[in-house]
Structure 1
Amino acid sequence: MSNRLGVNSQVLALALARMTESVGNSFLIVVLPLFIGSELVSGNTFGLTEVAVTGVVLSLFGFVNSPLQPFTGRLSDRTGRRKIFVLAGLLLIGVASFSYSLASAYWHLVGLRVLQGVAGALIIPTTVALVNDLASESNRGGNMGTYNTFRLVGFGVGPIAAGAVVSAGPYTVGLRGTQIQFSGFDAAFYFATLTASVSFFLILSLIRDPDKIETDAAADEADAGALDGFSVLDRSGRGFLDPVFTLGVVSFFMAVGIALFATLGDIINTRLDQGPTLFGLQFAAFVLAQIFLQVPIGRATDFYGRKVFIVAGTVLLVPTTLVQGVIYDPWLMFAARFAQGVAGAMVFAPALALAGDLAPDGKSGSTLSVLTMAFGFGVAFGPLAAGFLVSFGFVVPFAFGASLAALGVVLVWTQVEEAMTPRRSLFSAD
């Protein structure tokens, strides 16, 4: 059932649940580096510096969940069940979040981050596939935009609140006449556990698997290949590369470009003569643009088509990424990051919607996992690339990201065709 905006009510419930989980899970982006740098964690660092261990711990989530996503997406297609995968992932997220409060060695953090990566592989492709299953061609863009907007709100709020929660500790709670004290780190981990639990019960009580998946899955039972929906070359002969694979490559390029910024915080602050507050605002500018624009752009693709927005977004990614390497003013950097967020909003949700249009019946999990996997790899690869390339000059990482975006323009323009019939022309007068 859809509301007046054309957004399915279950998609709204799913988006709310993902937003809740994202608030707590994104706490860890800020809390884990602080936790690693505290005296509460010790032991073998595997021959790495503390900073290097922090980078490994943060990157593990993406490097673990991304290659697993096609398998979990495909498995959800074959079983005809999405909900159970999401619930299992949320359960693992909650267990891992609570277990951080018991961790005292670096290998504990590595193990828990791997566990969260597995949880992400269970949640990410199946929730996106659920949105696709619950939507139709006429409103898929709006539903994808709504889902991504809620998720990004949670992702943006978490890091802002995390530092305050940690610094305000220790906390004292009275329980039946007994005073219980716990640190700010424990409070953050308990909060992440709580948000995962709330999301679990929202999914359990409000979400159901669409009936149509069951029939499609039954018809597909004889199909045993975990990655049979994945193809690099276009089997139809209309182009050279498979359009879904192409959209995945472009999603990877976009993710690399937006993730370059995070690693260079200290260098950027020195270069722009600014403090961490302004860097935080610049980092958040991308997310803000996504929050404001995902829904209207997604709905616009339902009327005007998907490809024109993806092409325009990848074109805009080129200058908005490159200019970050030559800016010396903090507010111009904020503007560049916001404009890069506009470009990102024009690429990712429309690309998911287009991949959903192209997905065969009963195979949206494996089809859409190509994009979510590629995006996850890009987010993990971008910071590592920036740390290596910046040694050749500050502009080099951003020039690299801009070059990838330019290649993405060519790929989308030549290898991707519109899968729906636009109801209006973007260039007409009406």
Structure 2
Amino acid sequence: MQAKQEEKKGERLQASPQKKVVAIALLTAAAVLGDAMLFIVLPLYWQEFGLTALWQIGILLSVNRFVRLPISPLVGWFYSKFELRTGVQLALILATATTFSYGFFQSFATLVVARAVWGVAWALLRIGGMLAVVEFSSKDNRGQLMGTYNGLWGIGGLVGMLAGGIFVEQVSVFPVTTAFATIGTIAFVIAPFVIPKRQQPDDNKPLTHVRRAEKTLSPFTMLVFATGLTMGFVVFGLFSVTLSPLVERAMGGQQLEAFGVIIGAASIAGILQALRWAWDPFVAPFYGKMLDRRPLSYLWIYLPILGIGCLFSLFALLDSFWLLLGAVLVFQLLSTFFVTTADTLAARAAAQGNKVKVMTIQAVVVDLGAATGPLVSFFIVDTYELAPLYWLAAAFLSTLSVLWFAYSLNMRRKPT
């Protein structure tokens, strides 16, 4: 009787791939609250965290990503041997502990350790989630499910950045991190009830080992990895850590007041970042659906890459606060497009070859870009301010668009 119930349960889960993706995405949202808050609050309130120098901000915002570089291959191996549920629960334990530590400890060395542990947690969450999307999707809905996954876990970024930016200014860091850690604890408790007991392993397709290697290392896949690297650098790294200083520069050191509440650069940056997370659950699946259309339209790839490059050039020149707000809103919309594009292309490449290998490499290159972004940003800003940094980002994006254009021309010349 129990065996039949388990069989029925497995059939029900198998018939609802979107529910699996939604469950993993929402648990991930609970885990990222503290990390999202840190990107808004730390660049402006770094002394409250016990830091003594500006460069320490870059280290704290980068060390978790550098940790993920060697950890991600191990996580890929982990998911080939152990249950998805186990990986997510372990990640939630680590994420909750690190979120609490951000407000409890006021030591640079201790916070470095906490950020390194968070790197392990995020590797478990991110690779597990992306492998789930690849496993549970088909060529007709891969982009849409990837957009759904990214959009829903982004709710954690929405709450983390918005609540972090606003409430830290009104109270202090510790109450906010304690509240976020409590949410993480609740997520850990409910995880066994919403995640299927076993993620299916990477099955053997009718491809030889050599053909799988060829698919994994094809020109298309290598270009996908380059896209992920650039996306991680400019969106998750460079822009995330420089938005608060960019807003503060445009405000000229002044603060806004609305209904008796002081609104500083941290609050405004938090709101601007949160807006993207707010529309992601709706915009990301829509854009993913556009990417699912066959044949692949390169217009949907060029749009975010070239658009973001132009906006970085504009950021380098803008001094008007209100014009900057409009430009940042457009940037956030294009960022949603860019992240969805990079992840959907990676899922498409993974479906053609070894899923675990492709998604693990994609996670590594995105982390590499996201890790170098804060370091490069703060070292350049410390010497040359923001403008040269944004010109550098625009140059990277222009190079990527040229590579995609060359690839598209080469594909058109191939005989059908």
TM-score range, shorter chain: 0.7 to 0.9
Judged with a 3 Å threshold, the aligned counterparts in structure 2 of structure 1 residues 330 and 167 are, in CA distance, closer, same or farther, namely: closer
Judged with a 3 Å threshold, the aligned counterparts in structure 2 of structure 1 residues 79 and 7 are, in CA distance, closer, same or farther, namely: closer
Give me the whole-angstrom Cα distance separating, in 1, the residues matched to 2:287 and 2:41: 33
TM-score scaled by length of structure 2: 0.78
Aligned to 1:10: 20
Conservation of the 8 A alpha-carbon contact between 1:149 and 1:291: yes
Aligned to 1:52: 55
Give me the whole-angstrom Cα distance separating, in 2, the residues matched to 1:305 and 1:7: 24
Conservation of the 8 A alpha-carbon contact between 1:143 and 1:298: yes
Give the total of aligned pairs: 383
Q: Secondary structure at the match of 1:213?
A: coil
CA shift for structure 1 position 413: 3.2
Aligned to 1:253: 230
User: Which segments of 5 or more consecutive residues in structure 1 lack a partner in the other structure?
Assistant: 170-183, 420-430
Aligned to 1:293: 283
Judged with a 3 Å threshold, the aligned counterparts in structure 2 of structure 1 residues 84 and 214 are, in CA distance, closer, same or farther, namely: farther
CA shift for structure 1 position 145: 0.5
Higher normalized helix content (fraction of residues): 2
Aligned to 2:404: 412
Check if 1:194 corresponds to 2:194: no
Give me the whole-angstrom Cα distance separating, in 2, the residues matched to 1:229 and 1:297: 31
Aligned to 2:414: none
The residue identity in structure 1 corresponding to 2:403 is L
Which residue of 310, 315, 337 corresponds with 1:319? 310
Conservation of the 8 A alpha-carbon contact between 1:230 and 1:245: no
134-143 vs 19-28, greater mean Cα deviation: 19-28
Task: List per-residue Cα deviations over 1:193-246 (Å, max 9, x = no partner).
Answer: 2222232234321111566427559x99xx9xxxx9998xxx469xx9632232
Aligned to 2:320: 329
Judged with a 3 Å threshold, the aligned counterparts in structure 2 of structure 1 residues 418 and 97 are, in CA distance, closer, same or farther, namely: farther
Conservation of the 8 A alpha-carbon contact between 1:60 and 1:114: yes
Aligned to 1:402: 394
Q: Secondary structure at the match of 1:64?
A: helix
Q: Secondary structure at the match of 2:293?
A: helix
Matches within 5 A, 1:222-301: 235=214, 242-258=219-235, 259-261=237-239, 262-263=241-242, 265-266=244-245, 268-273=247-252, 275=255, 276=265, 277-284=267-274, 286-287=276-277, 290-301=280-291
User: Which segments of 5 or more consecutive residues in structure 2 lack a partner in the other structure?
Assistant: 1-10, 256-264, 412-416
The residue identity in structure 2 corresponding to 1:26 is A
160-169 vs 135-144, greater mean Cα deviation: 160-169
The residue identity in structure 1 corresponding to 2:238 is L
Give me the whole-angstrom Cα distance separating, in 1, the residues matched to 2:125 and 2:269: 30
Conservation of the 8 A alpha-carbon contact between 2:243 and 2:269: no
Task: List per-residue Cα deviations over 1:13-37 (Å, max 9, x = no partner).
Answer: 2222222222344234456567752
Judged with a 3 Å threshold, the aligned counterparts in structure 2 of structure 1 residues 229 and 90 are, in CA distance, closer, same or farther, namely: farther
Aligned to 1:180: none
The residue identity in structure 2 corresponding to 1:250 is T
RMSD (Å), alpha carbons: 3.7
Judged with a 3 Å threshold, the aligned counterparts in structure 2 of structure 1 residues 388 and 156 are, in CA distance, closer, same or farther, namely: same
Aligned to 2:8: none
Aligned to 1:356: 347
TM-score scaled by length of structure 1: 0.76
CA shift for structure 1 position 129: 0.9
Judged with a 3 Å threshold, the aligned counterparts in structure 2 of structure 1 residues 280 and 158 are, in CA distance, closer, same or farther, namely: closer
Give me the whole-angstrom Cα distance separating, in 2, the residues matched to 1:19 and 1:72: 19
Give me the whole-angstrom Cα distance separating, in 2, the residues matched to 1:324 and 1:33: 18
